[in-house]
Structure 1
């Protein structure tokens, strides 16, 4: 029996969280999968799974083996993709993590356009505002809107990105002109809790030095879209992603402020694990997004 077949059976069982669920998913009998896993354990001389009638769990050895075996199989599958990548017919599944803000905004159209252009690729998009662990959670690629930091991941910049401080015309008329970020400490602000700085908003002086202003308000929300609507309603100053602000700019409900003090070191990035053999479908996906943003600045 092929060792790779046994390894795939083990991984299928782990990821489906049981033999019955794995059998339904891969179209093989529960007995056959059980046989493959038992043979793998015999070869290794170690128990990988704890089995009872009601519970299923990995042993310590099983955890270690699963992580390493998953990486090995991905490399084998990716190598096969690399050999086939001369073909224009991309196939398979791409698991993508993207912020809700990205997926729900106009720029989320880039994901839909890719799916339309590649009908044989299944695009699984998980909208999540947290920074997922790509390797541990099994993602092929993540879209991140942030200042790029050093990591063991590969990043490709898709587009420049900036934040825009803004408020409604009525709010500005009531609170007077806002000419310096320090003024925000004494007036209502809308805090988007998705941001890493929370209510300590960073700004940049003309000499490049960075400083922060502690802000407060009656609304804290983990949604730039809700923060935008609150600012339009006159509840305070909001700091919004530029692509969110520009969608409503023509309506005149928000006025940009403090443009000379906002940080400019942000970007929209495609992040993916460092792999020796990057799957052709992932490379095509990232290439498509890069070109999409060039065509739709």
Structure 2
């Protein structure tokens, strides 16, 4: 019994919630459908489904295996299309994940034209600021900002974004204006929960001097927009990317801190699963983002003195 048929049967049972309905979908008998799932469970050595006289439900192992099975079946369909020499038309549902602030400020603006360009596609967009597991959580594409830690993913760099120190005029009037990176240790630091570099911030001055400062935040938040609002209220100093700081700097709610010192820029990537046959919907979306961000709309001027970091 081939493994592809076993996967197709398991996914059909999970999707329909029963052996009879799955059998109807697949054109098999109920007994054969049940047999396929049993063979798969025996092969794996785990129970994928809980069975009662009234319903069928996924076990914990089945929940984890289901997304992997769907991914394998999708890859098989894409491979068949490639082998037949056809140029696949993007179709189906594209599941995208991105950071909250970047999603609101820039990712959302790319979607209307993408939907017009690809009428056979639907998009499910989820925004949050944690690093999601694409396979476990069933995403096709994710937007990552900063250093990439998962080498098993294919990454397309979409651009870079500058990050800056900023504080409210009221905070600086009350606590003084830092003139060197070391002065930051005497100030209230507002930290981003998911940042990996706050323990040792590396600065470069306009004339080429380097400094490393270790800072401990008095307050942390897991979203850049929220953290920036707190800073605008006079609570302390933040380090945030231009696509968040731009409106605040433009209207004066925040002002730059240490403008003659910079920290490395952050890379922005679209990442997706490794596969010899990238799904047409994934390729279409990544290419669309690269086109939209060819001239980054988040750039502020004048440019900062720091050079872009090597990733």
**Structures share a fold, TM > 0.5?**
yes
**CA shift digits 1:99-137 (9 cap, x unpaired):** 112212244312343234323211111212111122232
Normalised to the residue count of structure 2, the TM-score between the two structures is: 0.77
- Pick which of 234-243 and 149-158 moved more: 149-158
Counterpart-to-counterpart distance in 1, 2:212 and 2:64: 45
Aligned to 2:9: 9
Change (3 A) 1:274 1:241: same
Gaps of 5+ in 2: 298-311
**CA shift digits 1:236-293 (9 cap, x unpaired):** 1111111111133321111112244433242110011110100111111000000100
Any conservation in 1 of the 2:190–2:238 contact (CA below 8 Å)? Answer: yes
Aligned to 1:200: 199
User: What pairs with 1:31-70 in structure 2 (closer than 5 Å)?
Assistant: 35-42=32-39, 46=43, 48-53=47-52, 56-58=57-59, 69-70=69-70
Counterpart-to-counterpart distance in 2, 1:98 and 1:22: 38
Specify the SS of the correspondent of 2:189.
Answer: strand
- Pick which of 250-259 and 157-166 moved more: 250-259
Change (3 A) 1:244 1:33: farther
Change (3 A) 1:143 1:255: same
Counterpart-to-counterpart distance in 2, 1:178 and 1:92: 53
Counterpart-to-counterpart distance in 2, 1:101 and 1:33: 49
- Pick which of 199-208 and 72-81 moved more: 199-208
Counterpart-to-counterpart distance in 1, 2:158 and 2:144: 10
Change (3 A) 1:224 1:259: same
Please state if 1:273 is matched with 2:273. Answer: yes
Aligned to 2:17: 19
Aligned to 1:283: 283
Counterpart-to-counterpart distance in 2, 1:160 and 1:22: 52
Gaps of 5+ in 1: none
Change (3 A) 1:68 1:284: closer
Deviation (angstroms), 1:235: 1.1
Normalised to the residue count of structure 1, the TM-score between the two structures is: 0.81
Counterpart-to-counterpart distance in 1, 2:172 and 2:19: 58
Deviation (angstroms), 1:67: 7.4
Specify the SS of the correspondent of 1:188.
Answer: coil
Counterpart-to-counterpart distance in 1, 2:195 and 2:8: 40
Aligned to 1:244: 244
Counterpart-to-counterpart distance in 1, 2:147 and 2:190: 21
Any conservation in 1 of the 2:181–2:211 contact (CA below 8 Å)? Answer: no
Counterpart-to-counterpart distance in 1, 2:41 and 2:4: 13
